[in-house]
Chain A
Amino acid sequence: MNAIDKKLWRELWGMRMQALAIAMVIVSGVGIFIMSLSTLDSLYETRENYYRNHHFAHVFASLKRAPLSLVKRIEEISGVDKVETRVVAYVNIDVAGFSDPVSGHLISLPDNSRGLLNQIYLRKGRLLKPGRDNEVMLSEEFAHAHRLQPGDKLRATINGRRKTLTIVGLALSPEYIYQIAPGAMFPDYPRYGVLWMARKPLANAYDMDGAFNDVTLTLSKGTNEQDIIDRLDAMLKPYGGIGAYARKDQLSNRFLSEELKQQKTIATVFPMIFFGVAAFLLNVVISRLISLEREQIAGLKAFGYSNFAVGLHYAKLVLMIVALGIIGGIIVGIFLGKGMSNIYMDFYSFPFMIYVLKPQVIVAAGLISILVAMLGTLYAVRSAANLPPAQAMRPEPPSIYHATIVERLGLQGWFSQPTRMILRHIERRPLKSLLTTLGIAMACGIMMIGGFQEGAIDHMVNVQYGMSQREDLIAIYTEPSSTRSLYSLRSLQGVEHVEGFRSVPARLRFKHRFYRTAMQGIKPKGSLMRLLDTELNVIDLPQEGVVLTDYLAELLHIGPGDMLTIEVLEGNRPTVHVPVVGTAKQYLGVNAYMQRTALNRLLKEGNAISGAFLAVDDRYQREVYTELKDMPRIAGVIEQKSAIQAFYDTLAETVLFFTFISTLLGASISFGVVYNSMRIALSERNRDLASLRVLGFERGEVAYILLGELALLTVVAIPIGLLFGYGLCAYLAFQFDTDLYRIPLVLGMNVYAFAAMVVIVSACVSGVLIWRNLAHLDMVAVLKTKE
């Protein structure tokens, strides 16, 4: 080994603690980067694999009733690969010992089969026996939520008749990775489940012998999906088809895709922050090391080492630290990635998880780390390489200082000498001061994410369910019924208020853009379902015209005054044109609203309603629910409140964990930045400070010069950090915006206060450590040595 490389190893060993500290930050950056991206790749790969192996359909359609003979015609559509028809029913379920409303989808399975398309994955128990009308299989989450096992029983209201069913197996389905009830926003495993039943008995119960009400298709490669959807739509129209849709619009797949998109955002934001901090730390440590080694550098050059050799020597030192970080990061990243993938496997109920680590992820992590480290140390290494040997032999000349801007403005009388020292030191090293400030600011900003999530979700739920949708229960009819049906609901004991609504699936079109959702006909000036404007004031729904969710208006590029085309996907499927009269603030879902009577007129029907919102006295909620369930006209009952509660329960843990992580991250970054920059400042100014001690300054007075700078930078950093945090949250909110939900950018005072507090506390901790270091200032040594 060359002598100069021996020097490298010894120096690395000499600064091992600092090197390790920097390597740890790089380990975190690389680790999180690899973890996030490999988890993401694994999720995509697993989903693809699951979809492919279980023949997840490409096109889905529901209809009223069509004869099986239609299948042949569907198969003849060019580009269609496989076709599977099913009988699907939405049913109320009774689980012993659980009094909340429970609903579910009952799906037919061919005899002795996992299905042709959307094949289920049998987790436990066995498949259904042909023709058994009392056997079901359950989705695993639903079973787990109620601790149901094969052999247990539950009851379901099938086409108005209560039936006891025996569970024979538990299963997963690619169609229900994200198991969400129609109209709901969050998975609520205890209250919504998926059940599979043999085709024959289910068809019998719903009068579907030789018929079907649901069809799914896979397509051959390279076919035009929209074309096939249009042709299928036309074919199903006479049979009450309500519009076919592609896989990308399939509810579970859509939620999953959105979640994966969010994962991607997080996967890029957090590692970047770590890499930024690593660059900062390398910058301060290497700059200092090089300034301490001026004489050695001069010596090397005097012996004939070239600028390049000297530069390379220090670049190697940096690279060794980075290499340590990269290797550690890869190991940590793989470990965490596997762990994380397994957590997601459970969370999304994948039957298996394929861990994928793409070589390019590792290469990218390595390259980014090296790039970041080189950027952070480029200036210091270059100035070491370019130092003329004669100049380097001499001690560094006194640093050049100037009066600061504030002083030149004539304000110097306001500052004591120590204060001037602080200001001038900051001004002399503007880049370092800036980096320190930015580092602290970033830390401050990161800590706002946790609080933002919590506050945003609170606000979202409060606006959606506290101000807009204020019903206790929603009763959904099996078929559109007369408003007279509301009397029977109103007469139930405990029901305080009832509002009927009409809901039809529709394709909304403006110019070339279209969106498939439900047209909602609601009661004007209702008290249970109200629309809100951007200021959250209640909108008075006009007699004619349609009000769109603001996000839907954006999607369609449509505004008040424009003419919206509504293609109704139910009944005789009229296409009508209606003016847009306003937009409504909604954080969840996207809908179009008009007065119910106006919608009835458009549909050329009488006073029909699809269901009702009910306000129910808390004390009678259970009784009302039980009675509703027994009404043959009612297909399902949705209770939002318990769904919200369940959502909060799961979310609380996640958010708490995330807040904990982001706080820990923020605190450690702000501590790392503050402490390191103060340690370096202490070593740089050791001599000044010790001289002052000799001149009779007390430790506190000397500490003021150092800690005053820290305090000033921190005070400046906090507002910048709060601004940065606001921007970060705005970015996340923007990135997370989807037609499923929008995250409001609501940041309470407490969020700002908390972030600022943690920064201040971690700065104080660094201050205390620096204070203790100041006790060891060597006054004697400083007099003897030139710097």
Chain B
Amino acid sequence: MVFHVHGVTKIYQMGEVQVHALRGVDLDLYEGDFTVLLGASGSGKSTLLNILGGLDTPTDGHVFYGDHDLTRATEIELTKYRRYHVGFVFQFYNLIPSLTARENVAIVTEIARAPMQPDEALQLVDLGHRMDHFPAQLSGGEQQRVAIARAIAKKPDVLLCDEPTGALDSKTGIVVLEALQRVNQDLGTTTAVITHNAGIARMADRTIHLADGRISEVYVNETKLAPHELSW
């Protein structure tokens, strides 16, 4: 087991209104699993991912990464956790515009323990030929694949993806999903993808439905589809 989430609630104070983003979530994520967290916007899936990624802390409950209780970690410990264990892929890529594709990967490998070479990571996402291009010179799909290369180059224990295809058309989205699946299969990286796109769930080992801050359904996929078989 990689993550053990127990009774997690999260309450945001938005002005004078309290928003209950999570209302007692229990969840386990297993090593090597490809999990999809599915839910409508406002279901709490991003909040959950942020908590798993050490970007946010719950109002109540515990999140264990292995033996470590992330809810008790200091800011410095959380930084170390993100640095050495977690790979992030964002909806809007969040590449550094002033660095080339290769350098965007290198900026992470330079601070990681035993990373792969930036070139190797970019080959994995089929971008070996665009390594010296700046983000402004890359398409959205290419930018997202650089982001995936950046996330996996440190050989993270978990890969957390927040709507990785959200800003892409379906064709480009599939290329990105293929890259994610390849990483999951070849490197065995535990992967969690959040999306509101139910179609994507069919390539996952497990699908977790979130609604109104609660887990409404957990579904184990017996017959996984390859990304190119998906449609939405």
Contacts and interface: CB of A to CB of B under 8 A. Distances in A.
B94 A402 contact: no
A786 B143 CA distance: 14
Interface stretch (B102-110, B177-185, B216-224): B102-110
Interface stretch (A437-445, A460-468, A625-633, A777-785): A777-785
B135 A783 contact: no
Interface in B106-145: 106-108, 110-112, 134-136, 143
A401 B137 CA distance: 10
A701 B92 CA distance: 23
B55 A779 contact: yes
B97 A786 contact: no
A696 B135 contact: no
A694 B98 CA distance: 18
B73 interface: no
B228 to A, nearest CB: 28
Contact of B111 (A425, A428, A701): A701
Contacts of B95: 398, 691
A694 B82 contact: yes
Contact of A783 (B79, B91, B100): B91
Contact of B90 (A420, A421, A424, A691): A691
A687 B111 CA distance: 20
A420 B100 CA distance: 10
Contacts of A399: 97-98, 136
Interface in B6-49: 46
A93 to B, nearest CB: 77
A97 interface: no
A417 interface: yes
Contacts of A424: 98-99
A697 B83 CA distance: 7
Contacts of B111: 696-697, 701
B97 A401 contact: yes
A695 interface: yes
Interface string B140-172: 000100000010000000000010000100000
A249 interface: no
Interface in B178-221: none
A779 B80 CA distance: 15
Contacts of A458: none
A387 to B, nearest CB: 18
B175 interface: no
Contacts of A694: 53, 55, 82, 88, 90, 94
A783 B94 contact: yes
Contacts of A687: 94
A421 B99 contact: yes
A692 B98 contact: no
B55 A780 contact: yes
Interface in A739-787: 779-780, 782-787
Nearest to B107: A417
A2 interface: no
A424 B96 CA distance: 11
Contact of A698 (B55, B76, B97, B135): B76
A693 to B, nearest CB: 8
A416 B110 contact: yes
A723 to B, nearest CB: 30
A542 interface: no
A421 B94 CA distance: 15
B46 A428 contact: no
A431 interface: no
A400 B150 CA distance: 20
Given A416-B110, A420-B103, A694-B55, A398 B97 contact: yes
A694 B88 CA distance: 8
B88 A695 contact: yes
Contacts of B108: 695-696
Contacts of B90: 691, 694, 783
Contacts of B60: none
Contact of B134 (A400, A696, A697, A698): A400
A393 to B, nearest CB: 15
A400 B103 CA distance: 15
A782 B94 CA distance: 9
B64 interface: no
A688 interface: yes
A584 B79 CA distance: 71
A359 interface: no
Interface string A396-422: 011111110000000000001110110
B86 interface: yes
B136 A401 contact: yes
Nearest to A402: B134
A477 B108 CA distance: 89
B84 interface: yes
B15 to A, nearest CB: 16
Nearest to A784: B46
Contacts of A697: 79, 83, 111
Contacts of B110: 416-417
A696 B79 contact: yes
28 contacts: A398-B95, A398-B97, A399-B97, A399-B136, A400-B136, A401-B136, A403-B100, A418-B107, A424-B98, A424-B99, A428-B98, A688-B96, A692-B96, A694-B55, A694-B82, A694-B94, A695-B150, A696-B83, A696-B112, A698-B83, A701-B111, A779-B55, A780-B50, A782-B94, A783-B90, A783-B92, A783-B94, A786-B92
Which are the 5 A-B pairs with shortest beta-carbon distances?
Answer: A696-B83, A417-B107, A691-B94, A696-B82, A424-B98
Interface of B: 46, 50, 53, 55-56, 76, 79-84, 86, 88, 90-92, 94-100, 103, 106-108, 110-112, 134-136, 143, 150, 162, 167
Given A695-B88, A695-B150, 17 more contacts: A398-B95, A398-B97, A401-B98, A401-B136, A402-B134, A421-B96, A688-B98, A691-B90, A696-B82, A696-B83, A696-B84, A696-B86, A701-B111, A780-B55, A783-B92, A784-B46, A786-B167
